[in-house]
Structure 1
Amino acid sequence: MYFAALLARTEDGWEASDTELDDVETLADLADLAREASVDDDTVLAFIEQEDAWFGVVRVDGEEDPRIYISDAAAAARSSYGEILLTDELLGRDPEEDLDRLVDLDGTEDGEPEGSADGEDPDEIVPPGPIGDSRILDDLGMTERQLRTLDGDALGVIAEALGCMDVLEAVR
């Protein structure tokens, strides 16, 4: 089961809204959705959680590039919502290299990427554990160390540290 919410920081505190990710296909789509929830280009946090498996936080500050933290990259990679967050840049991949490996695009053997012994493409393997900007919430009240040690109701703990637990619970 998934949960997603947007928390927008305002002069009066935090405002939360439950959000549907059905129309979100890329990180850019998610960032645009977050910017729409923003008041005066203030900080917006997008929370995405798959119960007992992983959580992700995307921070959008005005027109800056989104910052991302994911608690377990390998678990998120098995999720359609997680795949939105696991960008080539975050994973340290160069999409140009992937294109260079494809010699023939007609589906012949020469154009097929080489796989490992178990049939997996080594470039598609995602490491287990946290990935991304673990200092994403430092200035909002949650340290890197606190974020990296979260389990259970991680989003609730984050919301409590940010002073917006009641607002988050209202949309849960």
Structure 2
Amino acid sequence: MTSGRVTVYFAALLARTAEGWEASDTELDDVETLTDLIDLARGAAKDDDTVLAFIEHEDAWFGVVRVDGEEDPHIYVSDAAAAARTSYGSMLTDELLGRDPEDDLDSLVDLDGTEDGEPDQDDDSDPDAPVPVGPLGDGDILTDLGMEEKELKALDGDALESIADMLGCSMEGLEAVR
């Protein structure tokens, strides 16, 4: 029996442009992997400038993925334990913890060629490692933009608005779709 509860996410992209920061809401319908989210952010970039992909889940947690051109993305999640219990949040926490989402499937059926489900020798991830309660990831993700780690960790349900404010980005268009 399902509870019928609908999971509500809010997602936005904050893209740096020559004129400043531009905010836009975004749909996560086609985002199934972290790579999809990164591609979505890179698609919003102007001349390989910085883009922040922001995901918020019902004031329980928020995540920021920073994409700077073709560099590896930086990820921050406000509450890893809460995020890990949701689809988009687990996508972020799995990456931060070095977990492969396919590990869950591998544990059900031994398809990797090892005997008796024996772990691969070159796999450093621990699929049974506990997910920490609280922040996880790059706390300095916004430091060079003006927000120190301490300030980021203090954010709550209005995190996107606080980050946009700090960047000097208008939230008018986004507030209408919230």
In 2, Cα distance between equivalents of 1:158 and 1:105: 44
RMSD after superposition: 3.2
Q: Which residue matches 2:123?
A: none
Q: Which residue matches 2:5?
A: none
For residues 1-172 of structure 1, the aligned pairs below 5 Å read 1-88=8-95, 90-93=96-99, 104-105=110-111, 110-111=116-117, 123=128, 125-166=130-171, 168-169=174-175, 172=178
In 1, Cα distance between equivalents of 2:85 and 2:107: 24
- Residue aligned with 1:4, SS: strand
Q: Indicate conservation of the 8 Å contact 1:16/1:171, yes or no.
A: no
TM-score by length of 1: 0.80
Q: Which runs of 5+ in 2 are unaligned?
A: 1-7, 120-125
Q: Indicate conservation of the 8 Å contact 2:63/2:75, yes or no.
A: yes
Deviation at residue 170 of structure 1 after TM alignment: 5.5
In 2, Cα distance between equivalents of 1:93 and 1:166: 34
In 1, Cα distance between equivalents of 2:58 and 2:149: 22
In 2, Cα distance between equivalents of 1:145 and 1:87: 24
Greater mean alpha carbon deviation, residues 161-170 or residues 45-54: 161-170
In 1, Cα distance between equivalents of 2:138 and 2:53: 14
Q: Which runs of 5+ in 1 are unaligned?
A: 114-120
Q: Which residue matches 1:117?
A: none
- Residue aligned with 1:41, SS: coil
Tell me how many residue pairs correspond in the alignment.
161
Deviation at residue 160 of structure 1 after TM alignment: 1.0
TM-score by length of 2: 0.78
- Residue aligned with 2:10, SS: strand
Deviation at residue 165 of structure 1 after TM alignment: 4.0
